[in-house]
Amino acid sequence: MQRAAPQEFDRVLSSMCTEPHPAAREAAERFLATNPGDPATYTEIARLEARVVTELGRLAGLDVPPQSAPPEGASDPDDSQTVDRGPDESESLGGRAVGVDSEGVRDAGAEPHGYVTSGGTEANIQAVRSARERCAVAEPNVVVPESAHFSFTKAADLLNVELRSVPTDADHRADLDGVAAAVDEETVLVVGVAGSTEYGRVDPIPELAAIAHDEGAYCHVDAAWGGFLLPFTDHAWNFAHAGIDSLTIDPHKCGRAAIPAGGLLFRDPEGMDALAVDTPYLESTSQASLTGTRSGAGVASAAAAIEELWPDGYRREYERTDRLAGWLADELRSRDYDVPAVELPIVVADVAPGTFEALRDRGWRLSRTGSGLARIVVMPHVTENGLRSFLADLDDVR
Amino acid sequence: MQRAAPQEFDRVLSSMCTEPHPAAREAAERFLATNPGDPATYTEIARLEARVVTELGRLAGLDVPPQSAPPEGASDPDDSQTVDRGPDESESLGGRAVGVDSEGVRDAGAEPHGYVTSGGTEANIQAVRSARERCAVAEPNVVVPESAHFSFTKAADLLNVELRSVPTDADHRADLDGVAAAVDEETVLVVGVAGSTEYGRVDPIPELAAIAHDEGAYCHVDAAWGGFLLPFTDHAWNFAHAGIDSLTIDPHKCGRAAIPAGGLLFRDPEGMDALAVDTPYLESTSQASLTGTRSGAGVASAAAAIEELWPDGYRREYERTDRLAGWLADELRSRDYDVPAVELPIVVADVAPGTFEALRDRGWRLSRTGSGLARIVVMPHVTENGLRSFLADLDDVR
């Protein structure tokens, strides 16, 4: 085979994945030949997975009792997202090995409430599946804002569930009245997005959870991309801020783990239990993951990245990319592009199709929103120099 | 983080995964930060995936027109598996880049008929899903031999499809009369196993395909584990031997790629088309995989392993493990264990529960069949010295 060269990241503005942190890469390489899907054979990686789940739970507020009511006025995006759940700087990776006994074999009685998935798509599919299993209704439906990731289309298709996609408000967030109108007694799940794929928007999560629970449905938050950024904002997005039931948070996106390392968390063990199937010829008794054999590289690299970066490293990276995105938005506006307010580090601009193609021809990896706007995701590999070079090319071709 | 040590393989007799070939490991490490799920951003890995699909297709007989009738008497396991589809020694990795244009972006009009999955479970789920989509019946069912992998239970659960599990014959192969009786007009898929998880058995594939097609159902072969062994046997198992419609073949099992690298192949493009969902904000137009972000490491390592080992390296490994499994079976029989005939390199023996536990206490990773028999998978990492050491421990503890 001709020796193929992997992707360089210097012109990648389209991806929600990034270069793994060096510690994550090293761990991935070390655990390349392990399978957390077979925990009785591969005991060490099973232990690491339990640690990752514990740490993801901590990031997502699972060690704090839920609030009984949503924070006052949290649906107003301008001034009311007052819940400060920034991490305590003194927190570090604990040794709490949830659900793994001394042999590294999961004890069915103390299963961690989540697992490391192949990515956000698997996590979202499994959240829908768990809700469908736990709500025994004849014709289940799932209500999502139209900003939800296309993995929910996959989930609905797979699971024979009706997908009710509700138009978003003028600022691309879930419209609460629209969602409330779409929900009925056959609704098994209401989805909120915390860091949407196109605009980086955070939906009013506490209100969505309240709407879901009023109808006896579950509430899931997709923080696949936003989950490692939001702890450093004052958004209300996680288990501690709202009565949500499950959450997607992907180490292989802003968590800087190697692919594949997604994350799915449930508040209650019943969420995972609903996914379990029996596993003859594995010495563990059941398996809740969608896939069978799974990547130990992803799990180990997630553990290493979180150990290395939580919380200060992630905070620094959030602050850097947040500043950079704001700067890029200003630069584009100064060139008369229409650029919506930046909430999390994604910048959207109305770049004309010819300009877009000319930039792609120069090697820039750009992508478009469903409505054709150019979209730039300011990930850890994106630098100010890179963006200056991008702007110079933009000035050149437009 | 305390530096965790990954699994050593010297006592692993339970896994269907193994140490990746050094070339596969190197390629996995090189492509760790790529995502074939986003082919317009990560163009090089998309090209490699197309090559892997082409090569898997060649291994599985997709470059040969289907036979109009099953080979005579192929259902008789003793003497009639006369179809010799051993590879031509002169074959090598070709440059046929199916379905990828010069930009590495998949052209919907020339999609390769398959993709690199996260593993056999995803491939089996997707085969069931594709059949369900293509057969518009009200209450779909899938007919499997009871030897089928538990991923079909997952698939049925996910997809709201009835699973009809048919008892196997005395030698643990699909029972044709039983399967024929279970199939009806609501059957969308009949599954045959080519290398079963417990006994390594190969079902009568041509006959199963005929039963399926007589009722208008599709036929899928699960060769997840067996697919890199069977080309060196005279079994009738693949697209060239029988009118099957889809097939699972996993590079990360006997193909010696790194996890995650499974494989799903369809004879016709409609098989893949039935899986596709639209993908806004990716520059490619649709996505057929179950997951979204996918592992470039798995894809690259599969390409490297096949380049390195097909066909001579795989043939040598098949012959070595086949001999070793036969020898182990004889050794166990000489100790008065009941050991069924070895078809592919899995050895099953009636080791008493106390002995089994004592061996696990000595660090041997052993697993059991559903009926409690010890099961030893003779993978590339298993050596004669290792098995002698295992037998010595067995003699010591029983």
The dihedral formed by the CA atoms of A24, A324, A376 and B42, expressed in degrees to the nearest 10? -30
Q: Return the pLDDT at A102.
A: 34
Q: Return the pLDDT at B47.
A: 94
Q: Return the pLDDT at A3.
A: 62
Which chain B residues touch A25 with a CB distance below 8 Å? 32-33
| Whole-angstrom distance, CA of residue B60 vs CA of residue B18 | 21
10 Å CB burial of residue A167 (0-12, 13-18, 19+) is exposed
Chain A nearest-CA distance from B71, in A, is 33
CB-CB under 8 Å, A125 with B38: no
| Whole-angstrom distance, CA of residue B312 vs CA of residue B92 | 10
Which chain A residues touch B356 with a CB distance below 8 Å? none
Residue A174 in this model has a pLDDT that exceeds 90: yes
Q: Which one of B14, B32, B42, B93 makes the best mutation probe of the A interface by having the most chain A beta carbons within 10 Å?
A: B32
Share of chain A above pLDDT 70, in %: 85
pLDDT tens for A347-390 read 999 999 999 999 999 999 999 998 999 999 999 999 999 999 99
| Whole-angstrom distance, CA of residue B119 vs CA of residue B140 | 24
Q: Does B148 touch chain A (CB under 8 A)?
A: no
Q: Return the pLDDT at A112.
A: 52
Which chain A residues touch B42 with a CB distance below 8 Å? 7, 15
A266-272 contacts: CB < 8 A, separation 24 or more?
A: A266/A113, A266/A114, A266/A130, A267/A62, A267/A66, A267/A113, A267/A239, A268/A113, A269/A111, A269/A113, A270/A134, A271/A113, A271/A130, A271/A134, A271/A245, A271/A246, A272/A111, A272/A112, A272/A113, A272/A114, A272/A115, A272/A130
**In the predicted model, what is the mean pLDDT of residues B48-67?**
85
Say if residues A304 and A27 touch (Cβ distance below 8 Å).
yes
**Chain A residue with minimum CA distance to B307:** A1
**Chain A residue with minimum CA distance to B124:** A291
Which chain B residues touch A300 with a CB distance below 8 Å? 4, 6
- For tokens 């599954």, the residue is B191
pLDDT tens for A137-166 read 999 999 999 999 999 999 999 999 999 999
Which chain A residues touch B151 with a CB distance below 8 Å? 292
Say if residues A167 and A309 touch (Cβ distance below 8 Å).
no
Which chain A residues touch B160 with a CB distance below 8 Å? 159-160
Each residue of B141-175: b (16+ CB within 10 Å) or e? bbbbbebbbbbbbbbbbbbebebbbbebbeebbbb
**In the predicted model, what is the mean pLDDT of residues B346-369?**
96
What are the distances in angstroms from CA B144 to CA A152, B156, B329, B373? 29, 11, 28, 22
Q: What are the residues whose beta carbons fall under 8 Å from the beta carbon of B392, sequence distance 6 or more?
A: none
Residue B92 in this model has a pLDDT that exceeds 90: no
Share of chain B above pLDDT 70, in %: 85
The phi and psi torsions of A316 (rounded to 5 degrees) equal: -60, -40
Say if residues B100 and B45 touch (Cβ distance below 8 Å).
no
Which tokens in the block code for residue A231? Answer: 């702890």
Which chain B residues touch A42 with a CB distance below 8 Å? 7, 15
What are the distances in angstroms from CA A283 to CA B153, B371, B372? 18, 13, 11
Strand boundaries in chain B, DSSP class E? 114-117, 141-145, 162-166, 187-193, 218-222, 246-248, 262-266, 277-278, 286-287, 346-349, 367-368, 374-377
The mean pLDDT of chain A is 88
Kindly report which listed range (A36-45, A186-195, B149-158) carries the lowest average pLDDT score: A36-45
| Whole-angstrom distance, CA of residue A27 vs CA of residue A237 | 30
pLDDT tens for A78-125 read 333 333 434 443 333 333 223 333 333 333 333 359 999 999 999 999
pLDDT tens for B3-55 read 667 768 999 999 999 999 999 999 999 999 999 999 988 999 999 999 999 99
| Whole-angstrom distance, CA of residue A249 vs CA of residue A257 | 12
- pLDDT-derived band at A296 (thresholds 50, 70, 90) equals very high
Residue A75 in this model has a pLDDT that exceeds 70: no
| Whole-angstrom distance, CA of residue B24 vs CA of residue B179 | 39
Which chain A residues touch B122 with a CB distance below 8 Å? 290-291
The mean pLDDT of chain B is 88
pLDDT tens for A62-73 read 974 444 443 343
Please name the residues between 347 and 366 in chain B that touch chain A, using a CB distance below 8 Å. Answer: 360, 365-366
| Whole-angstrom distance, CA of residue B82 vs CA of residue B344 | 17
Complex ipTM: 0.86
CB-CB under 8 Å, A44 with B291: no
| Whole-angstrom distance, CA of residue A301 vs CA of residue A22 | 9
The phi and psi torsions of B265 (rounded to 5 degrees) equal: -125, 145
pLDDT tens for B111-136 read 359 999 999 999 999 999 999 999 98
Q: Smallest Cβ distance to A14: which of B31, B41, B300?
A: B41
CB-CB under 8 Å, B47 with A365: no
Handedness of CA B28, B30, B35, B39 (dihedral sign): negative
Each residue of B238-247: b (16+ CB within 10 Å) or e? bbbbbbbbbb
Q: Return the pLDDT at B85.
A: 39
The phi and psi torsions of A280 (rounded to 5 degrees) equal: -65, 160
Strand boundaries in A286-385, DSSP class E? 286-287, 346-349, 367-368, 374-377
**In the predicted model, what is the mean pLDDT of residues A20-40?**
95
Residue A59 in this model has a pLDDT that exceeds 70: yes
Residue B88 in this model has a pLDDT that exceeds 50: no
Q: Does A1 touch chain B (CB under 8 A)?
A: yes
Q: What are the residues whose beta carbons fall under 8 Å from the beta carbon of A256, sequence distance 6 or more?
A: A18, A19, A20, A21, A24, A228, A305, A309, A317, A380
Helices and strands counted in chain A (H then E)? 11, 12
Report helix, strand or coil for B246. Answer: strand
Q: Does A31 touch chain B (CB under 8 A)?
A: yes
Q: Smallest Cβ distance to A260: which of B5, B159, B295?
A: B295
CB-CB under 8 Å, A119 with B6: no
Residue B368 in this model has a pLDDT that exceeds 80: yes
**In the predicted model, what is the mean pLDDT of residues B180-206?**
98
DSSP designation for A170? T
Beta bridge partners of B347: B376
Which residue in B116, B129, B193 sits closest to B156, CA to CA? B129
Chain B nearest-CA distance from A16, in A, is 9
Helical residues (DSSP H) of B96-238, grouped into ranges? 120-134, 151-159, 176-182, 205-214
Residue A35 in this model has a pLDDT that exceeds 90: yes
Which chain A residues touch B48 with a CB distance below 8 Å? 4
pLDDT tens for A247-292 read 999 999 999 999 999 999 999 999 999 999 877 766 666 889 999 9
Chain B nearest-CA distance from A234, in A, is 27
Which tokens in the block code for residue A71? Answer: 């924070």
CB-CB under 8 Å, B33 with A15: no
**Domains of chain A with CATH codes:** 22-309 (3.40.640.10), 312-397 (3.90.1150.10)
Q: Which one of B14, B35, B291 makes the best mutation probe of the A interface by having the most chain A beta carbons within 10 Å?
A: B291
Please name the residues between 160 and 219 in chain B that touch chain A, using a CB distance below 8 Å. Answer: 160, 197-198
Q: Smallest Cβ distance to B41: which of A30, A281, A365?
A: A365
Residue B146 in this model has a pLDDT that exceeds 60: yes
Q: Percentages helix, strand, coil for chain B, rounded to the nearest 5?
A: 35, 15, 50
Chains A & B: contacts with CB separation below 8 Å: 265
**In the predicted model, what is the mean pLDDT of residues A23-36?**
96
